Amino acid sequence: MPSQSLRLGIAGLGTVGVGVLRILRKQAVLLEKRTGSTLTISAVSARDRSKDRGVSLSDCGWEDDPVALAKREDVDVFVELMGGADGAAKAAVEAALNAGKDVVTANKAMLALHGQALAERAEAAGRVLRYEAAVAGGIPVIKALTEGLAGNEITRVLGVMNGTCNYILTRMEETGQGYNALFDECARLGYLEADPTLDVGGIDAAHKLAILSSIAFGTQVDFDGIEIEGIERVTLDDIRHAADMGYRIKLLGVAQQTGRGLEQRMMPCLVPAASPLGVLQGGTNMVVLEGDAVEQIVLRGPGAGEGPTASAVLGDICDIARSIRLPVFGQPASGLKQSKPARAILPAPYYLRMALVDKPGALAKIASVLGEAGVSIDRMRQYGHADETAPVLIVTHKCTREALDAALSAMSGTGVLASDPVVLRIEAV
């Protein structure tokens, strides 16, 4: 039986776009065997036509405008690898769907902010919008949720979804260097986004969590409903204190449906050092999925980079070539519910680090405030100091975040805090 032809238009020739070109050329025969289609590149688009990207573009058409590329008659699948929540990327994807093209994208920010509208547009046009590369790089977590675990009621999604943050936190423990030094190291290695706060501020990872939550719980993407805190305030002392207690600090995303609504948070947490998440090193990502039938599965792999991300893009292209056509978020977009944001309600122990004004009775005031809020202390340490503040570490017994917030609010009026406390949840994984 002769092969069919699937014609691609690729917008964006950065690291991932070039990786896709290389795989398409290197594995052309294998891809044809696996899909029954010949995958060809009709045209590409990027900002600078003259730039040397290390791959030949002589056999590809060129469009300066990605929207024009999306509308070309010789393009069956529009592959958007430009990035950016709005602007040219969103306009080009909308143009492609309007023109009857299927779309593959790696654009997590665009999906986190506009996923519902794009899903409705794609499904109304009878097109597919695939985005495996948008979450956790080479880890096939989207396919796992939409296909492999379709028979499960998902109870919780959690994971480490930003390799840069995990690299910084693990290197702090390994090298004894502080956050600022390792932030500079990541900048030199090219690990940071153009806007570094997207990484270290938890925003990049929260984009991914919003997408996974929608699939897992049948809700409309709700990025604004996520509690977000980055790793900027985590110090080397926090890393050491956590290690002393048998924990490691991770920027952890957690999503679960509760009686009060959809709980979504992306923030630094303590996890047991011996747990799968605790042993995760460097820039690797890990996503843990929990379902009523499967119980728990752990997906681990490279969360970024040319090869892993391009591999995920090719997986989506191959599914389209095989005529696998699914709703964007695993069920029709018209049936996705609006979520009700909820804060964490399940009790958990918390780690508190604070600097107290060095005067008699300061620590007693803090202990009294915690007790009055119903928060009991599991352990407490006061460390030596050379200035006029006294560093104190407190680990609570299990308590609700509501009770802890009441205590923190009361602490601010005691006059003994030299700075705002660092508060980290100790997560059961």
- Give me the active site residues, please: 208
**Residue 277 CB neighbours (<10 A):** 23
How far apart CA 298 and CA 276 sit, in angstroms, is: 8
Which of 225, 229, 228 shows the shortest CA–CA distance to 340? Answer: 225
Classify 248 as helix, strand or coil. strand
Tell the residue number behind the tokens 């993407």, with chain if given: 221
Helix (H, G, I), strand (E, B) or coil at 359: coil
Q: Which two tokens stand for residue 145?
A: 């949720």
Helices (H) and strands (E) in the chain, counts: 14, 17
CA dihedral 402, 404, 409, 410 (to 10 degrees): 120
Sign of the dihedral defined by the CA atoms of residues 54, 57, 62, 67, in that order: negative
Phi, psi of 27 (to 5 degrees): -110, 25
The answer to whether 421 and 355 have CB atoms below 8 angstroms apart is no
Does residue 246 contact residue 169 with C-beta atoms inside 8 Å? no
| Tokens 């070109």, located at residue | 21
Distance (Å, whole) CA 5 – CA 304: 29
Q: Which of the 8 DSSP states describes residue 325?
A: -
Cβ atoms of residues 60 and 86 within 8 Å:
no
C-alpha to C-alpha distance for 402 and 406, rounded to whole angstroms = 6
In DSSP terms, 297 is beta-bridged to: 289
Q: Are 200 and 315 in contact (CB under 8 A)?
A: no
d(CA 104, CA 317): 7
Residues present in the chain in total: 429
